Chains A and B, each alone.
Chain A
Amino acid sequence: MIIPELGEYALILALCLAVLLATVPLAGATRGNTLWMSYARPLSKGMFLFTLFSFLCLSWSFIDNDFSVVYVASNSNTALPWYYRLSAVWGGHEGSLLLWALILAGWTLAVAVKSRNLPQDIIARVLAVMGWISIGFYLFILFTSSPFERYLPGYPQEGADLNPLLQDFGLIVHPPMLYMGYVGFAVAFAFAIAALLSGRLDAAWARWSRPWTSVAWAFLTLGIALGSWWAYYELGWGGWWFWDPVENASLMPWLVGTALVHSLAVTEKRGVFKSWTVLLAIFAFSLSLLGTFLVRSGVLTSVHAFASDPDRGLFILIMLAVVIGGSLLLYALRAGQMRSESSFGLLSRESLLLVNNVLLVVSCAMVLLGTIYPLIVDALGMGKLSVGPPYFNALFIPLMSIMLVFMGAGVISRWKQTPLSMLVQQLWLPGIAAIVLGIGATWLYAGELEHWVTLGIVLAWWVVLAGLRDLYNRLRHRSEKLAGLLKQSRSYYGMVLAHLGVAVLVVGVALVSIYSEQRDLRMQPGDSVTFRNYTFVYEGNKHVEGPNYTSDQGQIRVLYEDEPYALMRPEKRLYTARGNVMTEAAIDPGFTRDLYVALGEPLENGAWAVRVQYKPYVRWLWLGGLLMTAGGLLAASDPRYRKRMRSAEA
């Protein structure tokens, strides 16, 4: 079997193509050589094909149970079902980097194929920058983390199995989506660098990079939402956000990416904030790289730190320094040439979007500080410490609340100059309605006015009602209201969906954080507990055999207002290959509440420790994430991006 070797060679060839891609078109663009520039597209395609081939080779080794490959042996097992064997390809450090490289090559290919209408020198530069990034990752894989390494001469007959936490649908989809987002910011970054190199930073540039940024942002949103959902049901304890450094690593590029999406809108429409937009594009990608560094170098202690090898950490650190240092140097050299094409008043859509940007960037800085503070203190030898969730909550929640207030006003405001009187005239009604409805809804739901919940619900109403007021404004002067609805652009509806997603998310966060109820109990067969009108009766355990595990399955009869409602079956699994014990929670999902039951450990006399939870509106968290994703994708699909490209060419 030479499949793994073929995979390795393909990767080396992809590296060679990346080197050509990074140099030839760039030289062509500098010297005005059309032939050299035209190599960019075929080189991108070749790079993608070889990376894909390499990825398929690794997948084949997993399907084929080729345990002579170290990576396969340590992440797979013959008893593992085929679909988990495939997702195990990115279940460890080496394979997930290969997935990263594949997605990077995929984005490069997409830019090469989809941007036929861009000026040739711009496309040559963008693809060349993608080539540079690819070189970094191919070198990283080949020198420090090749997934194709063999056990020689002897090799194990059986693999060590995939970490049971990762044997799950969530793992099949979470990393690819997250990487699509991370790597997608490489495209925004490449456009920014290409613009700096060419010196042509205008509205057209913003229009080209906007759809790419929106798509990347949408994928990142989806990836984070999936990660949160996975942690909720798979880690077994019903938490949905832990302020774990690895989660923070994905949240930081998201915050800056959100700022970038909004700032690009201003640059495209009004020709201002140019240097700020470029800076955001640089930081969004740098934070994606920093995330990779934090997760992959093993400096952190978390579920995700499956590898820690100083060489790897050093390599990513150097790459990070080159990317950030190089791009900021270029920025410093070129930023002075950027000129605003218009001006704006103190109160205008521009200034409100600037406030949004500042708040997002400040939140990101605060998350960054809390995440790397322990690392810095440790590196200075000043002791080991951890920063707790209260730090993040204390800063993040007020900042986001302020942002929501501005969000409502921003949607209504006009470009260039918005008279305060107009804002007041348009927003007093939504404002009062939001306060009344928010307080009313909170009171109806809880029978009390807990201040954070009330604030959250009022702000959610505020965002929705201000959005409705904006829609009303758009339709007011149209005689055909329905036709008017259809006339609105896709990017408008994308914005509406994404903002609605934020409102839904805020409702979910507020309610599930404050009104979740949890009981940790010692239960013997026959014991029961009642709260929130649900009665949970523990009826004992059953023994269940899975393909690669054995399981103690708890039988929990649930009654709703004393009527039989459901049988919930939480499990405690023993994965035989590694001897890992895993908690599989039983969840009864619902639009307004989840019931969540998990088994703790066996106690004496047939009793078990059982955790029973009531999670109100927890689904709204991920529903909000899905709405934001849909909004981002819808906005990116707006036909005007394609039309304008054609007219720009003509």
Chain B
Amino acid sequence: MTPKRKQRLLVVLFIVFGVSAAVGLTLFALNQNINLFYSPTQIAAGEAPVNTRIRAGGMVVDGSVKRDSESLFVRFDITDYDKTVTVEYTGILPDLFREGQGIVAQGSLNEQGVLQAVEVLAKHDENYMPPEVAEALEKAGKMPMPEGQEFNK
């Protein structure tokens, strides 16, 4: 091999090494930071892992929102009209959070099957339903269609 070829080979090897390191690190970071979505039915069936960051979504059950009178602790149930999951959260709820609205909560399930949420999301439109929630409801065959409202359009 001529010295020039040798140098080129080194450069190529260096690039291949660099790219594989980058790809490896990226995939590792990606795997550490993806949050899978589960519907209440899936959680009730035990499909969701415990103590792992997940997302869960559904409609907030009417009359289920219970606030602590001293702090910002709040507990409520979300449902896909088939199964129900209890969510606990401490903090400020989004403007569009209310009973009967579709929400997505991010957090981890504890041993009792209660979702300890670190974030509660409700999107910025009265008619809007998070697509994950809409799909979960459709799967459960419980998509509500109130008059004059078009969900998930």
Which residues of A line the B interface, CB within 8 A? 163, 165, 236, 301, 303, 306, 308, 362, 366, 369-370, 373-374, 383-391, 394-395, 520-522, 572, 578-583, 598, 600-601, 603-605, 609, 611
Contacts and interface: CB of A to CB of B under 8 A. Distances in A.
Contacts of B30: 369-370, 373, 387, 391
B153 A308 contact: yes
Contact of B131 (A301, A362, A583): A301
Closest 10 CB pairs of A and B: A600-B92, A391-B33, A384-B37, A581-B95, A388-B33, A394-B29, A390-B33, A385-B36, A385-B34, A609-B92
Given A366-B26, A580-B126, A581-B96, A394 B36 contact: no
Q: Which residue among B30, B91, B93, B126 has the maximum number of chain A CB atoms within 10 Å of its CB? A: B30
Nearest to A166: B124
B90 to A, nearest CB: 8
B67 A603 contact: yes
B149 to A, nearest CB: 12
B125 interface: yes
A600 B93 CA distance: 7
A583 B26 contact: no
A383 B36 CA distance: 7
A640 B124 CA distance: 49
A385 B37 contact: yes
Given A301-B131, A583-B95, 5 more contacts: A387-B30, A387-B35, A390-B29, A394-B33, A598-B92
A386 B72 contact: no
B26 A395 contact: yes
Q: Which residue among A385, A521, A572, A605 has the maximum number of chain B CB atoms within 10 Å of its CB? A: A385
B41 to A, nearest CB: 14
Interface string B84-126: 0000001111011100000000000000000000000001111
B13 interface: no
Contact of B95 (A306, A387, A522, A582): A582
Contacts of A598: 92
A609 B95 CA distance: 12
B72 A522 contact: yes
Interface in B109-153: 123-126, 130-132, 135, 153
29 contacts: A163-B124, A165-B124, A301-B130, A366-B26, A373-B30, A373-B34, A384-B36, A384-B55, A385-B35, A386-B55, A387-B33, A390-B32, A391-B29, A391-B33, A391-B34, A394-B32, A520-B72, A522-B70, A522-B71, A522-B72, A572-B95, A578-B126, A580-B126, A581-B95, A600-B72, A600-B92, A601-B95, A609-B92, A611-B92
Contacts of B123: 301, 303
A388 B32 CA distance: 9
A383 B72 CA distance: 33
B92 A601 contact: yes
Contacts of B16: none
B22 interface: yes
A389 B32 CA distance: 11
B79 to A, nearest CB: 18
Contacts of A165: 124
Interface residues of B, number: 34
Interface string B10-28: 0000000000001001100
B2 interface: no
A522 to B, nearest CB: 5
Contacts of A387: 30, 33-35
Q: Which residue among B69, B91, B95 has the maximum number of chain A CB atoms within 10 Å of its CB? A: B95
Contacts of B125: 163, 306
Nearest to B28: A394
Nearest to A580: B126
A572 B55 CA distance: 28
Contacts of A394: 29, 32-33
Contacts of A601: 92-93, 95, 97
A224 to B, nearest CB: 20
B29 A395 contact: yes
A230 to B, nearest CB: 13
Contacts of A600: 72, 92-93
B34 A386 contact: yes
Nearest to A573: B95
Contacts of B36: 383-385
Interface string B32-62: 1111110000000000000001010000000
Contact of B91 (A236, A520, A579): A520
Contacts of A521: 72
Contacts of A572: 95
Given A366-B26, A369-B26, A580-B126, A383 B37 contact: yes
B148 to A, nearest CB: 12
A144 to B, nearest CB: 15
B91 to A, nearest CB: 5
B132 A384 contact: yes
A395 B36 CA distance: 21
Contacts of B67: 603-604
A605 B70 CA distance: 11
A387 to B, nearest CB: 6
Contacts of A604: 67, 69
B35 A386 contact: yes
A382 B22 CA distance: 25
Contacts of A303: 123-124
Contacts of B70: 522
A522 B68 CA distance: 10
Contacts of B93: 600-601, 609
Contacts of B33: 387-391, 394
Contacts of A390: 29, 32-33
Given A163-B124, A581-B96, A395 B25 contact: yes
B20 to A, nearest CB: 13
Contact of B72 (A301, A391, A609): A609
Given A163-B124, A522-B72, A581-B96, A388 B34 contact: yes
A388 B35 contact: yes
Contacts of B95: 236, 572, 580-583, 601
Contacts of B131: 301
A386 B104 CA distance: 12
A166 to B, nearest CB: 10
A583 B131 CA distance: 24
A362 B22 contact: yes
Contacts of A581: 95-96
B4 to A, nearest CB: 13
A579 B33 CA distance: 36
Contacts of A366: 26
A611 B94 CA distance: 12
B27 to A, nearest CB: 9
A488 B32 CA distance: 49
A391 B70 CA distance: 36
Contacts of A388: 33-35, 53
Contacts of B34: 373-374, 385-388, 391
